[in-house]
């Protein structure tokens, strides 16, 4: 009986002494394929396909590989695709590298600062020091921020090695740990939402923070949770990042925040790294400010131009802001390469 021949073995037999040629790369095709996949998922509805963070993390990893191979021009093109996918409005290099660009995407300022730092390293490489090492660090930080990592926090509770449903069952069986309901990274089904709703109704008086990032939530699923979330008396932070949420949900959240009896203690709702939520309405931010007037660190949005006066005002508002994960956010400045540390 004959053996099955693979394409690789046939190629080796055809030229046994020949050295393998360079691998043909098609980065533009790769990037466009990722973007088309995201567009296809978007046309199919917010509940279809994978959450956009899968695509974005893949683009960051491919970008780093290009830089390691010295293909900076192609890496710059892929970075432009990534910027567009993250909703950074301008594709102009000057706007990305310099002063006012850091205030365009205030829904997720950490990602924005990291992308700006990547642009500086790719387009303005410095000969001294370990530039590649700095690039690798930035890509690690961006990958970490754009992907689920709550399992590191759950490690100390002995849940990290369990299956997602076992983790969910264990969390909902006890009282909130440190006043936090952390379900991030656990895929939730409509049936799971009923269990989560019942748990929050039962333990709501003890809950300060609810982590629902990277759980596969859609707009309809959040709307299902909204009645119970909005009535939690002590809830201060709500994380909905890394899901499949769209701008349509912002209208419902903004309407809820207009009512002082809903979300009475909330200071921040994290909506970063979703489908197309790239900025937050002024009404949304002002409603949060009314609930936490002493905080004074909520971001604002430049709606009437980006002149020097407006830029300084936003800089004052943003400095000192903390990400819901506890990381300080420092707006990117010209020539600055510091980013939030992981």
pLDDT of amino acid 89: 61
Please report where in the chains the tokens 């995201």 appear, as a residue: 38
The token duo for 201 is: 């109704």
Q: Is the dihedral of CA 31, 34, 39, 42 positive or negative?
A: negative
Q: In this structure, which long-range contacts are made by residues 69-76, counting pairs with CB atoms below 8 Å and at least 24 apart in sequence?
A: 71/25, 71/27, 72/122, 72/123, 72/125, 74/27, 74/28, 75/122, 76/119, 76/122, 76/123
Which H or E run contains 85?
helix 72-85
pLDDT of amino acid 44: 38
Q: How far apart are CA 82 and CA 63, in angstroms?
A: 9
Does residue 275 contact residue 245 with C-beta atoms inside 8 Å?
yes
pLDDT of amino acid 37: 42
Please report where in the chains the tokens 């656990």 appear, as a residue: 186
Q: How far apart are CA 223 and CA 220, in angstroms?
A: 5
What are the pLDDT tens digits along the chain (342 aa)? 444 444 444 344 444 444 444 444 444 444 444 444 444 444 434 445 789 999 999 999 999 999 999 899 999 999 999 999 998 765 455 555 554 444 443 688 888 889 988 988 888 877 666 788 888 999 999 999 999 875 445 444 555 556 788 889 999 999 999 999 999 999 999 999 999 999 999 999 999 999 999 999 999 999 999 999 999 999 999 999 999 999 999 999 999 999 999 999 999 999 999 999 988 888 998 899 899 877 655 554 333 333 333 333 333 333 333 443 444 444 333 333 333 333
Secondary structure in 3-state letters for 153-178: HHHHHCCCCCCHHHHHHHHHHCCCEC
Which H or E run contains 31?
helix 27-44
- Phi, psi torsion values for 239, nearest 5 degrees: -100, 120
pLDDT of amino acid 95: 54
Does residue 257 contact residue 249 with C-beta atoms inside 8 Å?
no
pLDDT of amino acid 46: 42
Helices 190-203 and 164-173, interaxial angle, to 10°?
20
Instruction: Name the residue among 196, 194, 216 with its Cα closest to residue 204.
Output: 196
């Amino acid at each position: 009986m004959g053996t099955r021949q693979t394409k690789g073995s046939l190629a080796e037999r055809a030229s046994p002494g020949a050295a393998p040629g360079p691998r043909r790369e098609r980065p533009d095709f790769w990037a466009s394929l990722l973007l088309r996949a995201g567009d296809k998922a978007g046309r199919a509805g917010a509940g279809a396909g994978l959450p956009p963070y899968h695509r974005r993390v893949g683009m960051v990893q491919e970008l780093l590989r290009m830089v390691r191979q010295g293909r900076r021009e192609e890496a710059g093109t892929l970075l432009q695709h990534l910027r567009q996918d993250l909703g950074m409005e301008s594709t102009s290099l000057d706007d990305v590298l310099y002063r006012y660009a850091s205030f365009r995407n205030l829904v997720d300022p950490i990602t924005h600062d990291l992308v700006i730092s990547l642009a500086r390293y790719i387009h303005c490489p410095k000969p001294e020091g370990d530039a590649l090492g700095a690039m690798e660090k930035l890509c690690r930080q961006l990958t970490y921020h754009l992907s689920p990592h709550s399992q590191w926090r759950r490690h100390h509770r002995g849940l990290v090695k369990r299956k997602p449903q076992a983790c969910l069952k264990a969390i909902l069986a006890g009282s909130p740990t440190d006043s936090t309901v952390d379900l991030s990274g656990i895929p939730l089904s409509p049936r799971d939402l009923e269990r989560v709703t019942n748990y929050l109704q039962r333990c709501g008086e003890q809950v300060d923070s609810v982590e629902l990032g990277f759980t596969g939530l859609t707009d309809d699923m959040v709307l299902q949770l909204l009645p119970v979330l909005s009535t939690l008396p002590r809830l201060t932070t709500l994380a909905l990042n890394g899901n499949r949420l769209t701008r349509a949900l912002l209208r419902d959240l903004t309407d809820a925040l207009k009512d002082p009896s809903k979300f009475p203690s909330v200071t921040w709702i994290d909506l970063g790294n979703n489908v197309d939520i790239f900025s937050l309405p002024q009404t949304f931010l002002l409603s949060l400010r009314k609930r936490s007037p002493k905080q004074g660190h909520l971001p604002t949005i430049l709606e009437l131009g980006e002149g020097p006066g407006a830029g300084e005002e936003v800089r004052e508002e943003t400095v000192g802001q903390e990400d819901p994960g506890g990381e300080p956010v420092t707006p990117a400045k010209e020539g600055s390469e510091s980013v939030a540390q992981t």
